[in-house]
A and B are shown apart, each in its own frame.
Chain A
């Protein structure tokens, strides 16, 4: 073997391991959504099922969390884009000697731990509400208000970075030309700068929404009475797992794949267009594919994926669960029996005064969770009550 072949093999192995590490867990997690086994796992594969999706869609807390996440996400997008854009515009004009200081201040929120941001937000607004009197209490202790502000603190920095990159390519002469032709500053901003920034604003909005949607560290201190989806997920993951989380994860993975591909396709598309507009590579019209798809593999993959999902959903609709459900139930019963046996075995061992700790099926992270079990399963009890009502 030549050294070239060896290095190719090494590269291949490395890529395989890297992407295995990155994507493997997500694939496994997605698969567990379709296993009827009561604990998310793939290897004792009980039966292929969609039941966890039903569980998910009937879970009021999850649905409520999604609603809160969307409200907070939209609020955060608006606040952080307005702030990020202003900060980027000021950065281009700030007095050169102040520039580094200013940049350090506005980049700092990215580096401040999210936990610290969350804490400082609640502490500060708590103080403000005490200063201004109890009439302001409702607002300044409102979870949505606090979460939007807490998240925007650092998401605005991300937005700012995107805008700075785009602004570097803006010709300030264009704004001057508009002013010279009689536009007010506001008109020049609206008609010249804003259209130029539009792609960056779109990217920043998507990014800000995602960052808000998935934020945990800050939100966990600020959410108050409005738990977001991520908070609910964390609660479930910490205090008890069932594959309905996997089914949610699966949905999120699919949406993300869609989103990533759509974003990539959009970027390539606008990239091509802009390049064409700047007169660099005027694309010849013609060919079978519509313009959007030409020279844009991500878009092609996206369209193919759409077809696949539509087919899959169609199949799922017609998938007859009866026989499977029987199997599932049988399998479940078996499993439960086994589990009870195991538990009894464990209890027996414990009663025998054995110091060795038996295998913990749930792999719960905290020893104390046995004490907490009643309260946390209370949350689950509600879920199941909902389910019973739903059925």
Chain B
């Protein structure tokens, strides 16, 4: 197996006619990393992957793999292997022929191919099933065959386009761990595409969050979750409560935002915006549901929010409490279920307290649609 190889996108633009599918993408992927692109449907994830694998050329900018410019190099010459969104197993070939197709086109003998196929079938726990056709396998099995087929090509970089989207929840969770294990075993770079933030956060070393052709933030999972760079990232990754307003005062990396309904609130400025914000700017503050706790009502506190409870839902390990928030939006609070009986607080007014270090404020911008 090839050792980890870096992949760099330098100022990549991709256009289809007048439509800009990818705008100014700059990405540096370390060798051996598990790197994810996360974004809603249609934001250009597949398009980026196709530029890396060589099916389309960037309209501007460069794609480098292992430091080498890939311009003019076709997909069959690049050290990448792509697992397609719909898998694209060859329906008229047996499983073992599918897996070793890359050897077949390189001219390997049938014996060698059979042997390699058996090894890979062992690895994906499908021993003895090599003579079936793809149509005779289950969804998860097909998934694993597609992985084995890509790995058989001994790529330096494995590209995966939402490979788990067709699977049911249980299998998807199982395959997540399996994929991560495979990646660690073979040690090559994985570029993984998903619109499921859970997948991105659990598996990746780094995540790039995309919005309509633009990469908003590239960082580790924790960083993205705790310090989202833009309102889009904050609202797309995990659940978040948004408060809009104007900055009242800025003090180092802390700021006070004046909201319509909840008064002045204190929060940390997200790292990328430190030093760029000043009083009077339109801003947004985000607090996660699990960062909210019940507290004492105190009108002077800048970390307390008072609101009427609209609804309450029981979710097993927690209760979700929905409160009347800003501009028609509800505030969601998550309370752990600790086994005690709870009286419904529906209709009453609650005071919610949070720690200023768990709230982030940033310049106002577009939110992810729900």
| A interface, CB within 8 angstroms of B | 171, 173-174, 176-185, 187, 191-192, 195-196, 276-279
B136 within 8 Å of A (CB atoms): yes
A178 with B105, Cβ < 8 A, contacts A171-B86, A277-B135 known: yes
CB closest chain-A residue, reference B102: A181
B319 within 8 Å of A (CB atoms): no
Looking at A174, A177, A179, A279, the one whose CB has the most chain B CB atoms below 10 A away is A177
- B residues 272-300 in Cβ contact with A at 8 Å: none
Point out the residues of chain A lying under 8 angstroms from B81, CB to CB: 180-181
A185–B90 alpha-carbon span in the complex (Å): 16
Give 4 new A-B contacts, CB below 8 A, not counting A173-B86, A180-B81, A183-B76. Answer: A180-B82, A181-B101, A185-B76, A277-B91
Point out the residues of chain A lying under 8 angstroms from B104, CB to CB: 191
Looking at A182, A187, A192, A196, the one whose CB has the most chain B CB atoms below 10 A away is A182
Looking at B76, B81, B89, the one whose CB has the most chain A CB atoms below 10 A away is B76
| Interchain Cβ contacts under 8 Å between A and B, 22 examples | A171-B86, A173-B84, A173-B88, A176-B55, A176-B82, A177-B84, A177-B88, A179-B74, A179-B75, A180-B53, A180-B55, A181-B76, A181-B102, A181-B152, A182-B102, A182-B105, A182-B106, A183-B76, A183-B102, A191-B101, A276-B135, A277-B91
CB closest chain-B residue, reference A181: B102
A182–B90 alpha-carbon span in the complex (Å): 15
B76–chain A nearest beta-carbon distance, Å: 5
B18–chain A nearest beta-carbon distance, Å: 15
A278–B135 alpha-carbon span in the complex (Å): 6
B332 within 8 Å of A (CB atoms): no
B92 within 8 Å of A (CB atoms): yes
A176 with B88, Cβ < 8 A, contacts A182-B76, A278-B135, A279-B136 known: yes
B310 within 8 Å of A (CB atoms): no
A192 with B90, Cβ < 8 A, contacts A177-B84, A178-B101, A181-B81 known: yes
B149 within 8 Å of A (CB atoms): yes
B54–chain A nearest beta-carbon distance, Å: 8
A297–chain B nearest beta-carbon distance, Å: 26
Point out the residues of chain A lying under 8 angstroms from B149, CB to CB: 181
Instruction: Indicate with 1 or 0, residue by residue over B94-135, a CB within 8 angstroms of chain A CB atoms.
Output: 000000011011100000000000000000000000000101
Whether A196 contacts B92 by the Cβ 8 Å rule is yes
Point out the residues of chain A lying under 8 angstroms from B153, CB to CB: 180-182
CB closest chain-A residue, reference B146: A177
A191–B55 alpha-carbon span in the complex (Å): 19
Whether A183 contacts B88 by the Cβ 8 Å rule is no
Point out the residues of chain A lying under 8 angstroms from B152, CB to CB: 181
A279–B134 alpha-carbon span in the complex (Å): 9
A180–chain B nearest beta-carbon distance, Å: 5
B80 within 8 Å of A (CB atoms): yes
A184–B84 alpha-carbon span in the complex (Å): 19
Whether B105 contacts A180 by the Cβ 8 Å rule is no
Whether B88 contacts A171 by the Cβ 8 Å rule is yes
A279–B132 alpha-carbon span in the complex (Å): 12
Whether A187 contacts B105 by the Cβ 8 Å rule is yes
Point out the residues of chain B lying under 8 angstroms from A180, CB to CB: 53, 55, 75-76, 80-82, 153
A173–B86 alpha-carbon span in the complex (Å): 8
A123–chain B nearest beta-carbon distance, Å: 44
A173–B53 alpha-carbon span in the complex (Å): 13
A195–B90 alpha-carbon span in the complex (Å): 10
A177–B81 alpha-carbon span in the complex (Å): 9
Whether B90 contacts A174 by the Cβ 8 Å rule is yes
Point out the residues of chain A lying under 8 angstroms from B53, CB to CB: 180
CB closest chain-A residue, reference B149: A181
Looking at B74, B90, B106, B150, the one whose CB has the most chain A CB atoms below 10 A away is B90
- B residues 35-54 in Cβ contact with A at 8 Å: 53
Point out the residues of chain B lying under 8 angstroms from A277, CB to CB: 91-92, 133, 135
CB closest chain-A residue, reference B104: A191
Point out the residues of chain A lying under 8 angstroms from B88, CB to CB: 171, 173-174, 176-177
Choose from A191, A196, A276 the contact partner of B105 (Cβ within 8 Å).
A191
CB closest chain-A residue, reference B106: A182
Point out the residues of chain B lying under 8 angstroms from A278, CB to CB: 91, 135
**Shortest beta-carbon contacts, A-B, top 6:** A181-B102, A177-B88, A173-B88, A183-B105, A279-B135, A179-B75
B86–chain A nearest beta-carbon distance, Å: 6
A183–B104 alpha-carbon span in the complex (Å): 9
A121–chain B nearest beta-carbon distance, Å: 39
B132–chain A nearest beta-carbon distance, Å: 11
Instruction: Indicate with 1 or 0, residue by residue over B128-172, a CB within 8 angstroms of chain A CB atoms.
Output: 000001011000000000000110110000000000000000000
Point out the residues of chain B lying under 8 angstroms from A183, CB to CB: 76, 101-102, 105
Whether B105 contacts A176 by the Cβ 8 Å rule is no
